[in-house]
């Protein structure tokens, strides 16, 4: 019987240093994304449909017929189709509201598929609470009917008012009907019969398009995929997958690559939000920032006359004006950054808020020291 020496005794100092170097060289793992999350198949898309309908059963919160002539015309036409003649009659109902009905028709939806629909008031109705949408055809951009919707409307907001006050929460004039739409017409798209397929990147980029094509070619073999522009990869269907497109797409969409992106800084000046990409770099630059603050405070004083002087009591204004130029602020050095963390640390060293940081980033860009694109929302 004999024992093997411990593992750490087998590693010489040189081997230990080499092992440590290998670990350090590996560095952090790269962020890989599935092609499924980066690109979409051209032709596999949703379609927007809409229609005009009437909601009935409101508790006196519907349209005022005198102010909404389209509601009155729709109500008259609907009653005529049901055999009720109301032309020339003075209708004063407040339980009806004209609405626009919208929905998204998913790809490959078959007849009988249920859809969620959104109902929005068109006239001066105060609330759609408790209402029921009557059968409404939903049209596509080509004018054809693709679905029919009907059902009770559910709203998230409410409105209540009295003689002197009113409370409104949410938007009571917009509601939804879960599974309120029924698909009547299918959109023909023979995905399985295509000989050529196009993938569209959600964030166009030349490098990402080339990496996606390379990953697909490594999987399929040959040069089946070729990027034609920053957002499109054309894929020639190999003979073994023709007629079985779903199998090929299922395998391709699980391939992982590292997406590339343009160095970009997104700024929303209204809310003060700043978002920086990981490739944003800045050259060494010195920045000074200061604000001019003027504070004016009023402290009026009352002046009393001497006794028996027959004087009048007056108010004497007293104003205190203070100007603060923040003279203590000096130049701050933002060193050349290699990583986004170093850039953020350098900007945080200035000790300023997001509003001033927006102006500083724009000034650094103008000075030519910021290697990134600034996009203002």
Q: Do residues 10 and 19 make contact, with C-beta atoms less than 8 angstroms apart? A: no
pLDDT at 344: 77
Question: How far, in Å, CA of 149 to CA of 147, rounded?
Answer: 7
SS3 content of the chain, % helix, strand, coil (to 5): 25, 35, 45
pLDDT at 7: 36
Its pTM stands at 0.67
pLDDT at 19: 40
How is residue 180 annotated by DSSP?
E
Read off the tokens for 203.
Answer: 């964030």
Measured from the Cβ of residue 102, the count of other Cβ atoms closer than 10 Å reads 16
207: pLDDT confidence band, cut at 50, 70 and 90? very high
Question: How far, in Å, CA of 90 to CA of 88, rounded?
Answer: 7
103: pLDDT confidence band, cut at 50, 70 and 90? very high
The sign of the CA dihedral 58, 59, 60, 61 is negative
Q: Which CATH architecture has domain 191-257?
A: 2-Layer Sandwich (3.30)
Q: What is the mean pLDDT of the chain?
A: 81
- The residue among 317, 296, 297, 314 whose CA lies nearest residue 305 is 314
Rounded percentage of the chain residues whose pLDDT exceeds 90: 32
Write out the H or E segment, with its range, that includes residue 145. Answer: strand 145-152
Mean pLDDT lowest among 3-7, 58-62, 104-108? 3-7
- The residue among 136, 122, 134, 129 whose CA lies nearest residue 49 is 136
Is the per-residue pLDDT at 186 higher than 80?
A: yes
Residue 236 CB contacts under 8 Å (≥ 6 apart), including other chains = 195, 196, 224, 225
How is residue 88 annotated by DSSP?
T
Q: Do residues 225 and 233 make contact, with C-beta atoms less than 8 angstroms apart? A: yes
Per DSSP, the three-state class of 151 is strand
The mean pLDDT of 86-112, rounded to a whole number, is 89
Q: Backbone phi, then psi, for 356, in 5-degree steps?
A: -70, -30
Domain boundaries, the chain: 47-183, 191-257, 265-302+316-376
Q: Which residues pair with 293 in a beta bridge?
A: 324
Question: How far, in Å, CA of 282 to CA of 145, rounded?
Answer: 55
Rounded percentage of the chain residues whose pLDDT exceeds 70: 81
Mean pLDDT lowest among 13-27, 97-111, 138-152, 179-193? 13-27
The mean pLDDT of 299-324, rounded to a whole number, is 71
| pLDDT tens-place string over residues 153-170 | 998 876 677 766 777 777
| pLDDT tens-place string over residues 210-263 | 999 999 999 988 888 999 999 999 999 888 888 788 888 999 999 999 998 888
| pLDDT tens-place string over residues 23-41 | 333 344 567 899 999 999 9
């Amino acid at each position: 019987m004999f024992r093997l020496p411990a593992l750490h005794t087998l590693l010489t100092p040189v081997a230990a240093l080499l092992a440590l170097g290998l670990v350090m060289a590996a560095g952090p793992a790269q962020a890989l994304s599935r092609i499924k999350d980066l690109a979409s198949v051209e032709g596999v898309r949703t379609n927007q449909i809409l229609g005009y309908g009437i909601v009935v059963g409101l508790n006196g919160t519907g349209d005022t017929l005198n102010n909404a002539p389209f509601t009155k015309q729709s109500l008259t036409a609907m009653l005529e189709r049901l055999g009720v003649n109301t032309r020339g009659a003075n209708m004063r109902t407040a339980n009806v509201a004209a609405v626009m009905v919208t929905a998204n028709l998913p790809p490959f939806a078959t007849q009988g598929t249920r859809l969620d629909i959104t109902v929005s008031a068109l006239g001066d109705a105060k609330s759609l609470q408790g209402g029921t949408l009557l059968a409404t055809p939903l049209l596509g951009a080509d004018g054809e009917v693709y679905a029919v919707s009907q059902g009770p409307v559910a709203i998230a907001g409410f409105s209540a008012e009295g003689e002197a006050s009113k409370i409104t929460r949410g938007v009571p004039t917009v509601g939804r009907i879960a599974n309120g739409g029924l698909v009547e017409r299918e959109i023909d798209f023979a995905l399985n019969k295509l000989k050529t397929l196009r993938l569209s990147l959600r964030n166009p980029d030349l490098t990402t398009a080339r990496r996606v094509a390379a990953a697909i070619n490594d999987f399929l073999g040959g040069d089946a995929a070729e990027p034609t522009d920053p957002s499109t990869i054309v894929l020639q269907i190999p003979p073994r997958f023709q007629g079985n497109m779903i199998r090929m797409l299922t395998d391709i969409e699980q391939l992982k690559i590292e997406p590339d992106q343009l160095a970009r800084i997104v700024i929303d000046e209204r809310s003060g939000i700043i978002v920086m990409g990981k490739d944003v770099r800045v050259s060494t630059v010195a920045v000074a920032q200061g604000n001019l603050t003027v504070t004016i405070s009023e402290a009026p004083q009352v002046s009393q006359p001497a006794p028996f002087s027959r004087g009048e009591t007056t108010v004497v204004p007293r104003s205190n004006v203070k100007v603060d130029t923040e003279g203590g602020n000096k130049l701050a050095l933002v060193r050349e950054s290699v990583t986004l963390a170093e850039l953020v640390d350098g900007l945080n060293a200035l000790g300023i808020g997001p509003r001033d940081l927006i102006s500083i980033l724009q000034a650094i860009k103008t000075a030519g020291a910021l290697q990134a694109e600034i996009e203002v929302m």
